[in-house]
Amino acid sequence: MTDITPNDARKASNNATTEAVKRSLARRNRKQLVLQGFGIGAIVIAFTVLFILVASLVRTGYTAFVQTHVTLDVYIDPAEISEEGLPRGGFRDVLTAAVLDNLPGADPEEDARGVRNILSNGAQFQLRDQIVEDPSLIGQTITLTVPLSDPFDQLNKGGVRRDTPEDQRRVDNQEMAWFDALDEAGIISTPFNIGLFTNADSRFPELAGLKGALVGSFWALLTCFLIAFPIGIGAAIYLEEFAPKNRLSDFIEVNINNLAAVPSVVFGLLALAVFIGWFGLPRSAPFVGGLTLALMTMPTIIIATRAALKAVPPSIREAALGVGASKHQVVFQHVLPLAMPGILTGTIIGLAQALGETAPLLLIGMNAFITSAPTSPFDAATALPTQIFIWADSPERGFTSRTSAAILVLLGFLVMMNGIAIYLRNKFERRW
């Protein structure tokens, strides 16, 4: 290398590069920090929303998990309630009298109407049922714990605030004084709200429970599982292991991928027109709901099953084929068992989605007002998400907190199902 000049020129331009980089470096790093900042900001927003969502649900919903009750000594006055006239007995008056006993300040005549409203409308039926069970109670004094009506329940839980002006408060001053008197007498209690899980829906928030919805969702999910699981697995095995690569199997694939993205409300239209309109299946029935959900869940199960089958290494198939097993035997005796954990995981996740699905159930009428739990999958019923929808539409304060509580129950189920899926995945996941 005798020519020195190009080398020197090169040094200079190298230095120019170094200088340029140095000059711009701080600015470029700042730019990158800004990008990172935006990214963190986006994540913070997502987290904040999730936090607000959960916090607002818990804040409005936790009160629905307890219910204000009053414990009364009730004299079953034979003058009001007789064995012959049981269905028409004056259960309400008997209870009102029992409350009045604890309110020395109240006038039994004038205030009876107001005092009566302290108790839930369901209290009289509770008393009636008890006496129908054991008519010998007539004439005796029994101790009974009954729920309070929604305004008083809310007053006790803080949902009705004492510092709001009387004319904007659902409980007037007189009623507040009565409640305080009962409270002072030590007969007000706030136990866990079993009714939330053992009652069906009701027009009275303090009596409304999720039993109907839970049973309805159970039937619907069971139907969905019994249909979607075998059909989904069958379809997946065929497409993954047996289907020749031809137009038909391509067409089926495209179909499945598209079905997975069809809006759920369209499945509702399908169910309404075909299952109810053409086949004459009953409206509002969990069976029809389950059928609809099965059609929606099937693509999920098929896709998960195919992925699980694909994950089984070819060496297993070759080994089995090598000892003379038929293709069917290889698939059903070797591949399928190995793929089962993955299939189950996908199925559970699909069922969890189905559990939260609302729109198609609305269209087939699973948002009816039904005050008893279904006894079969063909009875009219609601489901957990549609019950949430119904309650969210009801203006009473008590229903707001019950809506949140129902959502918390629903989310609880979803967390549980996803937890099981994750557990299965971790426990049986094999690295080949």
Partner 1 sequence: MNDMRLTERNMTDHKIKMQARGVDVFYGHDQAIKNVDVDIEDNTVTAFIGPSGCGKSTFLRCLNRMNDTIDVCRVTGDIRLDDEDIYDPQVDPVQLRAKVGMVFQKPNPFPKSIYDNVAYGPKIHGLATNKAELDEIVEKSLRRAAIWDEAKDRLDQPGTGLSGGQQQRLCIARAVATNPEVLLMDEPCSALDPIATAQVEELIDELRERFSVVIVTHSMQQAARVSQKTAFFHLGELVEYGETSQIFTNPQDTRTESYITGRIG
Partner 2 sequence: MTLAPFVILLLAALVGYAINLRAARAIRYGGSRLHSLQGFHGLFSLLLVIVPVLTLILVWLAVEGGIINRILLSSLPDGVLDGLGSGAIQLIGAEIRSIAGGRVFGTPEDWKLEAAERLITYREISSWLLVGVVGAVSLGLIYFARSRVAAEFRARQRVETITLGLMVFCAVVAIFTTIGIIAALTFETIKFFQLVPITEFLFGTNWEPQIPIREDQIAAEGAFGAVPVFLGTIVIATVALFIAVPIGLLTAIYLNEFAPGRLRKIVKPVLEILAGVPTVVYGFFAILVVAPALRQFGESLGLDVASNTALAAGGVMGIMLIPFISSFADDALSAVPRSLRDGALALGATRGEMMLNVLFPAAIPGIVGGVLLAVSRAIGETMIVVMAAGLIAKMTINPLDSVTAVTVQIVTLLIGDTAFDNPKTLAAFALGMMLFIATLVINVFALRIVRKYREIYD
Radius of gyration of the chain (CA): 33
Q: Alpha-carbon distance 60 to 153, whole Å? A: 14
Nearer to partner 2, 141 or 426 (CB): 426
Count CB-CB contacts under 10 A for residue 106: 19
Q: Which of 310, 355, 356, 353 is nearest to 335 (CA)?
A: 310
* DSSP-assigned letter for residue 165: -
In the complex, the smallest distance separating the C-beta of residue 27 from partner 2, rounded to whole angstroms, is: 10
Give the C-alpha separation, 127 to 67, whole Å: 18
Rounded CA-CA distance 210/371 in Å is: 10
The smaller minimum CB distance to partner 2, of residues 72 and 256, is found at 256
Residue among 93, 65, 68 nearest 78 (CA): 93
Query: Closest approach of Cβ 332 to partner 2, in Å?
Result: 8
Distances (CA, A) of 177 to 96, 123, 230, 327: 16, 21, 62, 80
The pair of structure tokens assigned to 377 is 């999958």
Nearest residue (CB) to partner 2, 135 versus 230: 230
Find the distance separating the first CA and the last CA of the chain, reported in whole Å. 58
Strand pairing report for 188-189 and 141-147: unpaired
Which of partner 2, partner 1, none does residue 40 bind to, with CB < 5 to 8 Å depending on kind? partner 2
- Looking at the Cβ atoms of 147 and 290, the one nearer to partner 2 is 290
Residue 414's binding partner, choosing from partner 1, partner 2, none, with beta-carbon cut-off 5 to 8 A by kind?
Answer: partner 2
Output the smallest distance, CB 42 to partner 1, in A. 23
Alpha carbon 340 to its chain's center: 27
Cβ 369 to partner 2 shortest distance, Å: 12
Q: Work out what residue 63 binds among partner 1, partner 2, none; the CB cut-off runs from 5 to 8 Å by kind.
A: none
At closest approach, how far in Å is the CB of 61 from partner 2? 10
Q: CB of residue 63 vs partner 2: minimum separation in angstroms?
A: 14
| Residues found near partner 1 in the complex (CB under 8 A) | 1, 6-7, 10, 13-14, 16-18, 20-25, 28-29
Which of 57, 61, 69 lies closest to 122, judged by CA?
69
Question: Shortest Cβ distance from residue 16 to partner 1 (Å)?
Answer: 7
131 binds, options partner 1, partner 2, none, Cβ within 5 to 8 A by partner type: none
Give the Cα separation of 41 and 34 in Å (integer): 10
Q: Which of partner 1, partner 2, none binds 14 (CB below 5-8 Å, type-dependent)?
A: partner 1
Nearer to partner 1, 113 or 431 (CB): 431
* Nearer to partner 2 (CB atom), residue 120 or residue 367: 367
**Residue 118 near residue 170, CB atoms below 8 Å:** no
Closest distance between partner 1 and the C-beta of residue 5, in Å?
12
* Closer residue to partner 2, CB minimum distance, 132 or 248: 248
* 71 vs 249, beta carbon nearer partner 2: 249
What residue 303 binds from partner 1, partner 2, none (CB within 5 to 8 A, per partner kind)?
A: none
User: Distances from the Cα of 211 to the Cαs of 17, 41, 135, 156, in angstroms?
Assistant: 74, 42, 29, 25
Distance CA 125, CA 113 (A): 18
Which of partner 1, partner 2, none sits in contact with 23, Cβ below 5 to 8 A by type? partner 1
18 binds, options partner 1, partner 2, none, Cβ within 5 to 8 A by partner type: partner 1
